[in-house]
Structure 1
Amino acid sequence: MEHSNSTVCPSIDDFRNQVYSTAYCLITVFGLTGNGFALVVLIMMSHQSSPFNVYMLNLAVSDLLCVSTLPLRVLYYVNKGQWNQGDFLCRISSYALYVNLYCSIYFMAAMSVTRFVAIVFPMQSRQLVTMSRSRLMCVSIWIFICLASSPFLMTGQRVDPITNKTKCFEPPQGQGVFKVVMLNNLSLVLGFLLPFLVILLCYTGIIHTLLTRTPLARSQQDTTSKAVCMIVIILLTFLISFMPYHVQRSIHINSLSRTDTSCTERVAMQKSVVVTLCLAAANSCFDPLLYFFSGEGVRNQLSSMRLSWTASTQTRSLRLNAAGIESGDHRQLSYEIYAEEALGQTEGTLEKLVEKLVELEDEVWASLPRLLSLKPRPRSAEGKVDAAPTCPSSPELHSISGTSDKVSQTMSALPLAGDLQVEHCDIYFEKQ
């Protein structure tokens, strides 16, 4: 068994990189989605806000600020412990995680006190718990936590002399261990034990009051169910997220100054710190449950949003149907315009055909003099028209027809203007 800190123990870098990168990715997705949606709902409820909702709004903002820095941690562990984002972002990322951690604890304690006063002292609650006092309490919590967590801003990036990698989020070594032990003890007492004790006292008073209520008071199921939901969710958050991390962190930090720890103990301690830190960061995913199940008017607001969304969907559907009808009318109009254009093109084609027929007629009339003769009809002395002229002789017809067919001929006259008449022969051929 090794008893010296100088003993080289197996590295947990692969385990740490895999667990942190996976856990922080999931926390970022669920934390951003849940708290972002909750923040939108709480802002929409600002016209009917209450002191309890003021605390929930600040808790949602704290969670969003924390999860917005988790992608930087994901990049660090995906790059196998190589920090490339600069010293400033290294300090801010460490600082934001602990500000969120302790702001969440204090806002939960404030919500527990608010619910305690409303249930145990219902007549005095309107004077004791007001909007102005709740806002003042939120500002005080932000200032106190930001100042108390400022030592985390003092630790930035550093270069590992062995691997020559730029490191961030790494535990201290050497003389810095004593300082970290003092900070851990202070944060353990003020950041965890004190608010947790306040929460336990409030819940004890709430449970006692609910159990000793009169039957008429017990019929107020809304207040009772909200109180029970808040107690269950906050206690689970403390038992799953906050308590394991603070207990394990304290044991691990105190073990850094010891010289009698074996490699097996040291590796197990380091792995447990990795797991409990992920659980502590996951409190951002549990807080939306608190908004929904114990928030005042949150479920009503969600129901109204659902109804308005359904109504808007139906309205949009009606608009689409109307647009479809209008588009159908437009299509009908387009068909009519197309029919008119087609009719106009047909009329133009017919006009061209008529012109062609006129040209053909002119050509026909130009070739008629070979068969017809246009001359004045001879008249007698009494003014009578002479006998009808005779048709051309058979040889002439044979030269016209170019065949030896039997030709039948008749002669008639067509009257024209004045004394002119067109003499023509009706000729037809018969096959011999």
Structure 2
Amino acid sequence: MNDKNILKNGSCENIGNFKINTYVPTYIIVFIFGFLENLFCLYVFLKLYKKKTVFSIVMVNLTISDLLFVCTLPWRVYYYYSKQVWILSNYWCVFLTYALYLNMYCSIYFLTLLSILRYFAIVHPVKGLKYKNVKNVQIICIAIWVSVGLTAIPFLGIGNKKKQCFELSDKIMDIKIVLTMNSVALVLGFIIPFFIFTVCYILVAKSLLTSKPNRHKWNNSKKKAIARIIVILVIFITGFPIYHIVRTIYLAEILPKKNVSNVSCTMQKAAVATLCRAVVNPCLDPLLYYFAAETFRDKVRSTFKGCPTLMQQT
């Protein structure tokens, strides 16, 4: 049977076109803006920060993770623009899948680490000094890369349909591996980090609200801080949680039906849409730097203020 016909069978005949029309423009936009934004952020962190801080170290790692993440997207654009025909090596396809999930979960952990550091900086500033050690944070960042990289290795053993890529194989063994991987990712890569991230920022907001501020200062600094926390929580919560919930339900439907094409059309399209939302995060993370780090805001403002001067000098 022709591979293109496989896509037309089952309960969702137009899922192939839906993927093409959804993924291609999303991936192109995210690649362009995500690449430029994170490249600029990396320049700010590496060139304009005179002294390394625990926050800048984590944000550099998050930026690198996001850059690597968006660099996998052109290959996905190529695949879906070619009407889901993969003519390159299967090993390259498997590696791209591995790289996408590696960088996605590294990003989640770096965001979680930022929330922990923010918690200690605001709620326990004195006690947190012993945790705000540059060397220790560097070791933690390396540990995140290594642990997530090792945990994602099973993705390298998952096959694809003939002449296709980024499509789940119909082999029962591959489906079981993906279900197991999803269970691990759900707990270690989402539920635990999500819980820590949310609790840390809620406690930070509570600390700001219950502190005894000068009434005049409250209207400005405290309200801005609370607004920033709300923005950070909205960006994180609207991205990864919905994606993980839908993906879990989607994969749970596959095993008893023994074929991806037999999964309900609504669930297949929901899986596509929520993946697109999760993929948008590299474009939104620079907003977290801007809202969460005052030093970063100052560096960005000074950079743009200096642009007219540089233009005149040239």
Q: By the TM > 0.5 criterion, same fold?
A: yes
Gaps of 5+ in 1: 1-6, 160-165, 317-432
Q: How many equivalent pairs are there? A: 303
The RMSD of aligned alpha carbons is: 2.4
State the match for 1:84 in structure 2. 87
TM-score, scaled to structure 2: 0.89
Deviation at 1:218, TM superposition (A): 8.7
Match of 2:170 among 166, 173, 187: 173
In 2, the alpha carbon distance for the partners of 1:86 and 1:260 equals: 26
In 1, the alpha carbon distance for the partners of 2:221 and 2:63 equals: 23
Partner deviation per Cα, 1:246-272 (whole Å, 9 max, x = no partner): 0000001001123499x8961111111
Amino acid at match of 1:252: Y
In 1, the alpha carbon distance for the partners of 2:149 and 2:142 equals: 11
In 2, the alpha carbon distance for the partners of 1:25 and 1:13 equals: 18
State the match for 1:42 in structure 2. 45
What pairs up with 1:2-401 in 2 under 5 angstroms? 8-11=10-13, 12-159=15-162, 166-175=163-172, 176-216=174-214, 219=217, 224=222, 227-228=225-226, 230-259=228-257, 266-316=264-314
Flag the structure with more relative contact order, 1 or 2, with Cα contacts below 8 A and sequence separation at least 6: 2
Partner deviation per Cα, 1:372-429 (whole Å, 9 max, x = no partner): xxxxxxxxxxxxxxxxxxxxxxxxxxxxxxxxxxxxxxxxxxxxxxxxxxxxxxxxxx
Amino acid at match of 2:71: S
Q: State the secondary structure of the residue aligned to 1:215.
A: coil
Deviation at 1:42, TM superposition (A): 1.1
Q: Which has the higher strand share?
A: 1
CA 186–231 in structure 1, closer or farther in 2 if over 3 Å, else same: same
Partner deviation per Cα, 1:21-77 (whole Å, 9 max, x = no partner): 111111111111111111111112332332111111111100100111100000100
Partner deviation per Cα, 1:182-239 (whole Å, 9 max, x = no partner): 1111110000000011112212221221111112499488974675355223322232
Q: Which has the higher helix share?
A: 2
CA 85–220 in structure 1, closer or farther in 2 if over 3 Å, else same: farther
Contact 1:53 1:295 in 2 (8 A): no
Partner deviation per Cα, 1:262-296 (whole Å, 9 max, x = no partner): x8961111111111111111111110111222124
In 2, the alpha carbon distance for the partners of 1:32 and 1:19 equals: 20
State the match for 2:3 in structure 1. none
Deviation at 1:308, TM superposition (A): 3.0
Runs of 4+ in structure 1 deviating by more than 4 angstroms, as ranges, are 220-227
Contact 1:120 1:209 in 2 (8 A): yes
State the match for 2:4 in structure 1. none
Amino acid at match of 1:269: M
In 1, the alpha carbon distance for the partners of 2:309 and 2:82 equals: 49
Amino acid at match of 1:246: H
Larger Rg: 1
CA 307–9 in structure 1, closer or farther in 2 if over 3 Å, else same: closer
TM-score, scaled to structure 1: 0.65
Partner deviation per Cα, 1:300-336 (whole Å, 9 max, x = no partner): 11232234333333334xxxxxxxxxxxxxxxxxxxx
Contact 2:62 2:107 in 1 (8 A): yes
Contact 1:90 1:156 in 2 (8 A): no
